[in-house]
A and B are shown apart, each in its own frame.
Chain A
């Protein structure tokens, strides 16, 4: 039987493996503020139900839904905060251009183009087909580039 320390250590390993991925998906979906809240809510849920969640095959997809449902009542405009003294330099128009994409286009562009997720992984996360992910990626990137070139 695991003691409290072992349980905590196990969860920390779980966080190390999945927390960043979950945060990226939720921040891409909702922007910096609600994305952060959704991540915290989802991970708190994971801690409260750790035995079940840690045994899941795709915990990030599950917790992504938890984050969505737990912040459903906190809708707000999607805004991306550019970090102070960002390194690398970030195009000023990128944040609003990203926010202007549709939610799915934004998630796909960030996760596939930015973080190198496989199309199938994003498809599992969003519950859509790989071909749809591909379409969202192409359209999202086209819109993003158009917006950035216009600047």
Chain B
């Protein structure tokens, strides 16, 4: 390259920069009086999306807060506003309604746990949801609560007749009934007026393991009746004809 044709670097720099016109007074007055630059469509979309995300996050925060509050207050459980009427316990319907665990979640306010270590050859019968309301049995509801919703999971040996509900008096049929619901006030704590059983995982629960009298015959042994509250949830486990070690293993599988 013929360097003689080159201008000094400073001169070239000035030529590049001063090649851009300096705004005149007229330009500036026009610019100053012009409407301020609005945000580009892409920026507006981004701002809109950000606003929506913030709104969703706030909503999720409020829901999480309410859910946490409701977990400890049975009178304010997150029961869906409309419940299937056939799930409501009445004098003519003590069995509630059949319902899957997934669907029951919306009425319970939490996802029901499924027990492990069920005896071999036992099969699960249809799960049920039961909604107790004060108009049916006010005495069975805690003070201030107008409704209690429980989820029942039932296992029994294959070929057993359906056990729609565990009767109040024991019939001594082999079965496993797991009940889950939101804990009522104070149910997280161990009761002093009931027996205790050590699950072997550091958890001591209320209940008993041992023979139980049956109305349809002699005692059934083994028998288990355990219940406990944990993090705002209440679990109840009632078994017939399941060895004590296996009862404990089933209970531990619910105590996660």
A→B interface (CB under 8 Å): 8, 11-12, 15, 19-20, 23-24, 27-28, 32, 35-36, 39-41, 43-48, 73, 80-83, 86-91, 94-95, 98, 109-110, 113-116, 144-145, 148, 151
Contact = CB atoms under 8 A, between A and B. Distances in A.
Contacts of B5: 89
A36 to B, nearest CB: 5
27 contacts: A8-B25, A11-B25, A15-B24, A15-B28, A23-B20, A27-B17, A28-B17, A32-B19, A36-B21, A36-B23, A40-B27, A73-B43, A80-B17, A83-B19, A88-B11, A89-B5, A89-B7, A90-B7, A90-B12, A91-B6, A91-B12, A94-B12, A94-B13, A113-B9, A113-B10, A113-B13, A114-B14
Given A27-B20, A47-B32, A89-B5, A110 B25 contact: no
Contacts of B17: 23-24, 27-28, 80, 110, 114-115
Contacts of A35: 20
Contacts of B15: 83, 86-88, 90
Contact of A89 (B6, B13, B19, B22): B6
Contact of A95 (B16, B25, B29): B16
Contacts of B43: 73
A35 B6 CA distance: 26
A88 B12 contact: yes
Is chain B's interface secondary structure helix, strand, loop, or mixed overall?
helix
Interface of B: 1, 5-7, 9-25, 27-29, 31-32, 39, 43
Is chain A's interface secondary structure helix, strand, loop, or mixed overall?
helix
A82 B19 contact: yes
Contacts of B27: 40
B1 to A, nearest CB: 8
A128 to B, nearest CB: 20
A54 to B, nearest CB: 13
B9 A47 contact: no
A48 B12 contact: no
A18 B56 CA distance: 50
A83 B25 CA distance: 23
B7 A88 contact: yes
A82 B16 CA distance: 6
Nearest to A115: B14
B157 to A, nearest CB: 72
Closest 7 interchain pairs by CB? Answer: A114-B13, A83-B19, A88-B7, A44-B32, A44-B31, A43-B28, A23-B22
